[in-house]
Structure 1
Amino acid sequence: MSDVNTSTPIELEITEPRRISEQAAAALVIAGALVAVADRRVSPVERDEVIRFIRERDLAPHIGDERLFAMFDELAERLEEPDFANVVTNTLRPVSDLPLSSHLIELSERVAAADEDVHPHEVQAIKLLRLLTLVLPRAKPVGPAAVNVVTKE
């Protein structure tokens, strides 16, 4: 099960490079998954486009394709639940200080076009992502004392 679903908010804060990579990958995947589920039918080509985009730009080099596919499937499923907005914001917030905004938007646009049918709900999902990348509260810096607390699991 993904840390995104089971972690408390303090554990979602960026604490170490490996965790940053995982959180950045989750943010990218959630952007693609949000657009993919917007039209109520997730096409395999949309999921493949998310992974291809991440690989082409070397945005998550330490995370394997199988993990990315599983992350996509898990997050896409979570986006069909009533609390989907919380899932999106909780996934994006920890990496809000990273320069991912342009990647998130470009990825979402590529996913929308991947099945050669840009649905109006996909356009709305892209607009939502644009808005979120502008207004999300920034991740709180974590000091050495907080890192020790978080990593003691």
Structure 2
Amino acid sequence: MSDAATSNPIEPEITEPNRLNEQAAVALVIAGALVAVADRRVSPVERDEVIRFIRDRGLAPHMSDDRLFAIFDELAERLEEPDFANVVIDTLRPVSNLPLSSHLMELSERVAAADEDVHPHEVQAIKLLRLLTLVLPRAKQVTPSAVRAE
């Protein structure tokens, strides 16, 4: 089974700016959700901090708060599954060329402190995010000349 959509899933994401913006917002949400679920209890203040962070920096003006809350809740549930690392990696990989790592790290630290109790597992989640932002393979950038050549 090899169609264009499954053979190179990154290419359409890079060439569609609106989709890339949404993926960047989801990457920020997953960073916050990862830290929030690390201590096994997601506090509403942690979820609110994720949305506040995104709004204060104008990072996802095209998405409603309700949509961001829904994404957070869905990802928080997924992060409780055994394959949580794959969920994080698959969410971060398409936006690995964007300058998001400082935002991801700042957001993760703010979420950890939001409930005024930084749990050791939250610290581990932050370290994992830091490592992932350093080692994730970069998405292949599609240039206009490469698209025309095909």
* Distance in 1, Cα, partners of 2:77 & 2:15: 27
Aligned to 1:105: 105
Q: Normalization by structure 1: what TM-score?
A: 0.86
Q: RMSD between aligned alpha carbons?
A: 1.9
Question: Where does 1:3-82 land on structure 2 (aligned, <5 Å)?
Answer: 10-12=8-10, 13-82=13-82
* Distance in 1, Cα, partners of 2:52 & 2:7: 30
* Distance in 1, Cα, partners of 2:133 & 2:27: 11
Aligned to 2:118: 118
| Structure 1 residue 9, shift from structure 2 partner | 7.5
Q: Percent identity?
A: 84
Give the match's secondary structure for 2:60.
Answer: coil
Shift in alpha-carbon separation, 1:110–1:9, aligned structure 2, 3 A: farther
* Distance in 2, Cα, partners of 1:136 & 1:43: 29
> 5+ unaligned residues in a row in structure 1: which ranges?
1-6, 148-153
**Aligned residues, how many?**
141
Shift in alpha-carbon separation, 1:116–1:146, aligned structure 2, 3 A: farther
Shift in alpha-carbon separation, 1:117–1:66, aligned structure 2, 3 A: same
* Distance in 2, Cα, partners of 1:21 & 1:136: 19
| Structure 1 residue 11, shift from structure 2 partner | 3.5
* Distance in 2, Cα, partners of 1:83 & 1:118: 24
* Distance in 2, Cα, partners of 1:39 & 1:137: 28
Superimposed CA distance per residue, residues 67-117 of structure 1 (whole angstroms, 9 cap, x where no aligned partner) = 100000011100001110000000000000000000000000000000000
* Distance in 1, Cα, partners of 2:29 & 2:94: 14
Question: Where does 1:80-91 land on structure 2 (aligned, <5 Å)?
Answer: 80-91=80-91
Q: Normalization by structure 2: what TM-score?
A: 0.88
> 5+ unaligned residues in a row in structure 2: which ranges?
none
| AA at the equivalent of 2:104 | L
* Distance in 2, Cα, partners of 1:15 & 1:139: 11
